[in-house]
Amino acid sequence: MNDRELKAARLQRALGYEFADRSLLELALTHRSAGNRNNERLEFLGDSIVNHIIAEQLYHKFPDAREGDMSRMRAALVKGDTLAEVAQELELGEHLTLGAGERKSGGRRRTSILADALEAVTGAILLDSDVETCRRCVLAWFSTRLEELDLGSAGKDAKTSLQEYLQGRGKPLPEYELLGVLGDDHNQQFHVACRLTKPALVVEGAGSSRRKAEQAAARTALERLNAYGK
């Protein structure tokens, strides 16, 4: 197995899906800067299916939620920043095919490109399989975020809530720093510090991914702030 095949196999393991038609995956990862044959049509399809799957899951998860609450939660989950975070967790960036200009300007890390790629990959999985298989993949990618939701937060995770708490009081935004990663590749534990300058506060959080660790730290910071009434 050559390097290209190894990369493709690693990506498909991360996605939780093995393509019958590998060309669909390649197309989904091809940005328009690379030529006329690109992922824009797959992105269009994927955008619709992601919205549908998330909306359906919220409908069943929150049977007492009002339409407005479900809309806010869905918006938080399918917005570009969140899609890009999921794409980063799946390491889509390193598999993208970009034009020379996008490669040089950091396109592999650009939020809009990553979000579009995730939607395109979703569309590719749908075409390569069926709706149920696509639903299983999308729900697995968003599982942690869906678990963290509660009706009271209406889609706001701890990091978002902390940011809004500080902004509403005219305080500087928090800074997150990765302190270290422990354990083997299949069982890693990330440790993160969350630092606030006003009020002065440093808390730590841990989790099986950097995002989970940051969320844990933000949650602790919010608890401290509410306890101290700051």
Encoding tokens for residue 182? 């422990």
- Select which of 119, 128, 157, 214 is catalytic: 119
- Select which of 47, 102, 128, 157 is catalytic: 47
Report the interhelical angle of 158-168 vs 210-228 (nearest 10°). 40
User: Residue 89, annotated ligand binder?
Assistant: no
- State the number of CA atoms in the 13 A half-sphere of 170 facing the CB: 0
* Separation CA 151–CA 14 (nearest Å): 30
Based on the residue annotation, tell me whether 47 is a catalytic residue of this protein.
yes
* Separation CA 28–CA 36 (nearest Å): 13
Q: Is 50 left (phi over 0), alpha (psi -120 to 50) or beta?
A: alpha
User: Residue 204, annotated ligand binder?
Assistant: no
Based on the residue annotation, tell me whether 204 is a catalytic residue of this protein.
no
Angle at 211 between CA 209 and CA 216, to 5 degrees: 95
* Separation CA 204–CA 43 (nearest Å): 37
Residue with the two structure tokens 């960036």: 93
The annotation places the binding site for Mg(2+) at 43, 116, 119
Return the active site residues: 47, 119
